[in-house]
Structure 1
Amino acid sequence: MRNRMQDLDFEQTVAFDSVKDFEFTRKAAQKFRQIVSLDSFEDEDADVIFHYLYKEMELVSFGDYLKRYVYERAELEEPFSQVPQEVYKDIVVDSFKETYTPKSMSPTSAKLSSLVNNWLTQASVKRETVFLLGFGLRMSTEDVSDFLTRVLREQDFDFHNPEEVIYWYCYQNHLGYYKAEEYREIYKNLTPVEKKTGEIVYGTGLCLDSEEKLLEYLAYLKGRCDDPKSEKSQAFQEFMILLERAKKIIAAMYQEDEEENGGKKIWKPENINASDLEKVICSGIPINKMGNLKKMSASILAKHFSQKRFSRQRINNILNHKFPVERFDLITLEFFVISQEMEDDDPYTRYRHFLDEIQGILARCGMGEIYIVNPYECFILMCLLTDCPLAVFSEIWEKSYEEGEEKN
């Protein structure tokens, strides 16, 4: 496998010493290649991956990304790691004042300088903070999109959300926050318009290159019922497709066990429930006395994995439309499906197939492509390059709880 590492995606191979402090993606891609190319990776894969995640991987916060954005936009000359936070704070505060952008989209008594300091240090922020920064820092639509999908790891602009459509239009046309506020007020007074039969209102047919078209589209949004083509609905549909594939795999597993033990029960996909999915996919996570997965906080990799597990409660909440489908859910399900459907394939072939499929799924859901800097996504990719991806996946989860107990 080692001679094919140069073909892995993300970034072209470069010398480590030529990668700058603020080049998070290149640094992560280089480290990824280095780890999966180690001789010990094949024999001690779980130990090597766990050590990298816990001891070596750089956790890049929202504040780090914001600093990098300001650093590059302001064309600062001193080394990235040596720029004091005060410099970034002053640049952001000045920019907000120059663009007449408010310090918050909702009432607050906090000072702008305090809020900026928080943004520069926080691990993550709310979606509306990114939109506010978009106005305050004169971001392009591409910049805001990048923060939404790569930094927050959420979906891109939702073109079935009137506010996000307005924000997108304003960034695209270099309009300030108060113009967006004006459009929001206009939207409240628009007469709802129902979609005509066969009319294309989303996807490649959507063109908002004038204020007239913007207001027409907003009027349509005000009059529509839930649109099955919204990103959230698309994500739910993709989730259901993957869920059915996962259920078939688990039903086959159970059937094989049933026959080996001389049982006569016939297992079908419709017999598989959220508990079965949790039992198989989260087999490495210990159970408490109540039969639930132990708290995420007990895992030493809780921060790395954004406090998420594919638990039966999470699955049921998604199925009952209480939780939106997130990229974590799609990536986890796709990983499970590919790890089982292609368990006898060459690791590199399996890895490539996973990437091809998941990139398409994420693109259809407006969620942005796989991002190597995200610890969970890096973890999944490393597991796929081992001989037994699901076993390694489970072993690392198990180790994370064992190490967590020892630490406490």
Structure 2
Amino acid sequence: MKNRMQDLDFEQTVAFDRVEDFEFTRKAVQRFRQVVSLEGFEDEDADVIFHYLYKEMELVSFGDHLKRYIYERAGLEEPFADVTQDIYRDIVIESFHETCTPKSMKPTSTKLTSLVNNWLTQASVKRETVFLLGFGLRMSADDVSDFLTRVLREQDFDFHNPEEVIYWYCYFKQYGYHKAEELKNRYSGLEPDENYTEASKVFSGGLCLDSEEKLFQYLAYVKAGTDDPMSEKSQAFQEFCRLLNRAKEIIASMYQGDEEEKERGKVWKVSDISDSDVEKVICSGIPVNKMGNLKKMSASILAKHFSQKRFSRQRINSIMNHKFPVERFDLITLEFFIVSQEMQDDDPYSRYRHFLEEIQAILHKCGMSEIYIVNPYECFLLMCLLTDCPLAVFADIWEMSYEEM
């Protein structure tokens, strides 16, 4: 494996035109290469990966990303490590005043100074905080998109949500917060229109909203409710269903290969595989309580690393019933499971490359950003793929994360 580490080149897929991307990503890539090149990686892979995640991996917070963004935008010349928080705070406050951006989108008695200090130190923030900062810091639409997808690890602008469409338009045109409020008020009195002539472009990525006239033609279509963001029309939902079905096919094949099942003469089909079966196979390393449910995420010492998410039967059920939106976590986890099983006898490097090619295409199709190695969970899956038994290592590390408490 060592002689191929130079080929694990994330720099080829990451644009380093911004300081914050370059610094965080470069560090993560360097450490990734060092860990998978260690002498004991092949023989003690689970222990090596767990130690790195728990003891060594740098958790890059929302506040870290925000500081790096401000550092570059403000053109600060002193070394990044020497810039104190009060400098960042003052820059943000001044920018909010200059752009006439309110301190919150909802009524609050908290002072702007306190809010800014929180933003600069938080591990994560709500989606609406990113939108507010977009106005307060005069971000471009691309900047806000990066914060949504790479920093919060959520979906990009939701073009089925009228507020987010309006926000995107304002960032695109470099309009301020009050213009967005004006457009939102105008939307409230808008007549719905199902017969939008450009509807086909919504899913093909060819939608062009470069004028208020085009914006409101599209918003009238959104208001008609023709495209429910949680419906089967959602590209992410379609991909999720496709991957989930393939995962169930693999699990059915696993069960079919079991000696006891062969003796019973049962033929396992996809329809026989429940959400509980999917949870049991993918989350096999996570202990369960007396009720048969996965133990609480808070009991894992890697809870922060993995953003409080597990691929539980409850999560699957909520997505299928349109109670939860499909997130990148869901797509990445399913694709990891599929590749780990379909290519379990392949060379680890080939498996790793195939996964990257497949998942990057899926994420792009769903309007989500590419695999981001700074994200601990995504880094974890990539390391597992470079082991001889990815799913077993995946399970071992989850199990270790509960035993250490």
TM exceeding 0.5: yes
More displaced stretch, 226-235 vs 101-110: 226-235
**Structure 2 residue matching 1:205: 3-state secondary structure:** coil
Task: Give 1:294 shift.
Answer: 1.1
Query: Which residue number corresponds to residue 395 of structure 1?
Result: 396
Task: Give 1:392 shift.
Answer: 0.4
Residues 212 and 4 of structure 1: CA distance in aligned 2, closer, same or farther (over 3 Å)? same
Alignment of 1:5-404 (within 5 A): 5-11=5-11, 23-196=23-196, 199-202=199-202, 203-227=204-228, 233-258=234-259, 262-404=263-405
More displaced stretch, 261-270 vs 362-371: 261-270
Task: Give 1:82 shift.
Answer: 2.1
Query: Which residue number corresponds to residue 15 of structure 2?
Result: none
Q: Aligned partners of 2:78, 2:229: CA distance in 1, in Å?
A: 50
**Structure 2 residue matching 1:262: 3-state secondary structure:** helix
Residues 20 and 31 of structure 1: CA distance in aligned 2, closer, same or farther (over 3 Å)? farther
Task: Give 1:11 shift.
Answer: 2.2
**Structure 1 residue matching 2:289: 3-state secondary structure:** coil
Residues 327 and 180 of structure 1: CA distance in aligned 2, closer, same or farther (over 3 Å)? same
The residue type paired with residue 107 of structure 1 is P
Residues 260 and 319 of structure 1: CA distance in aligned 2, closer, same or farther (over 3 Å)? closer
The residue type paired with residue 29 of structure 1 is V
The residue type paired with residue 346 of structure 2 is D
Stretches of structure 1 lacking an aligned partner (at least 5 in a row): 13-18
Q: Aligned partners of 1:20, 1:150: CA distance in 2, in Å?
A: 12
Task: Give 1:154 shift.
Answer: 0.7
The residue type paired with residue 224 of structure 2 is G
Residues 138 and 235 of structure 1: CA distance in aligned 2, closer, same or farther (over 3 Å)? same
Could you tell me whether the CA contact under 8 Å between 1:21 and 1:80 is conserved in 2? no
Q: Aligned partners of 1:355, 1:138: CA distance in 2, in Å?
A: 34
CA offsets, 1:185-233, max 9 Å, x none? 1111112112257853413331111122112111222224235798982
Could you tell me whether the CA contact under 8 Å between 1:232 and 1:325 is conserved in 2? no
Could you tell me whether the CA contact under 8 Å between 2:230 and 2:322 is conserved in 1? no
Residues 89 and 232 of structure 1: CA distance in aligned 2, closer, same or farther (over 3 Å)? farther
Residues 185 and 20 of structure 1: CA distance in aligned 2, closer, same or farther (over 3 Å)? closer
Q: Aligned partners of 2:293, 2:347: CA distance in 1, in Å?
A: 35
Task: Tell me the TM-score normalized by structure 2.
Answer: 0.94
The residue type paired with residue 35 of structure 1 is V
Could you tell me whether the CA contact under 8 Å between 1:335 and 1:354 is conserved in 2? yes
Residues 199 and 322 of structure 1: CA distance in aligned 2, closer, same or farther (over 3 Å)? closer
Residues 170 and 7 of structure 1: CA distance in aligned 2, closer, same or farther (over 3 Å)? same
Query: Which residue number corresponds to residue 16 of structure 1?
Result: none
Q: Aligned partners of 2:188, 2:8: CA distance in 1, in Å?
A: 49
CA offsets, 1:259-301, max 9 Å, x none? 5762211111110001111111111111111111111111111
Q: Aligned partners of 2:196, 2:213: CA distance in 1, in Å?
A: 18
Q: What's the % identity of the aligned pairs?
A: 78
More displaced stretch, 151-160 vs 252-261: 252-261
RMSD: 2.0
Q: Aligned partners of 2:199, 2:91: CA distance in 1, in Å?
A: 46
Q: Aligned partners of 1:395, 1:104: CA distance in 2, in Å?
A: 43
Could you tell me whether the CA contact under 8 Å between 2:160 and 2:229 is conserved in 1? no
Task: Give 1:316 shift.
Answer: 1.3
Q: Aligned partners of 2:201, 2:358: CA distance in 1, in Å?
A: 27
Query: Which residue number corresponds to residue 2 of structure 1?
Result: 2
The residue type paired with residue 323 of structure 1 is F
Q: Aligned partners of 2:233, 2:382: CA distance in 1, in Å?
A: 25
Could you tell me whether the CA contact under 8 Å between 1:231 and 1:365 is conserved in 2? no
Q: Aligned partners of 2:64, 2:232: CA distance in 1, in Å?
A: 28
More displaced stretch, 376-385 vs 191-200: 191-200
Could you tell me whether the CA contact under 8 Å between 1:293 and 1:311 is conserved in 2? yes
Could you tell me whether the CA contact under 8 Å between 2:256 and 2:262 is conserved in 1? no
Q: Aligned partners of 1:195, 1:118: CA distance in 2, in Å?
A: 45
Task: Give 1:26 shift.
Answer: 0.7
CA offsets, 1:236-279, max 9 Å, x none? 11111011111011111111114576221111111000111111
The residue type paired with residue 340 of structure 1 is Q
CA offsets, 1:56-81, max 9 Å, x none? 10001101110111111111122212
Q: Aligned partners of 2:187, 2:263: CA distance in 1, in Å?
A: 66
Q: Aligned partners of 1:64, 1:9: CA distance in 2, in Å?
A: 24
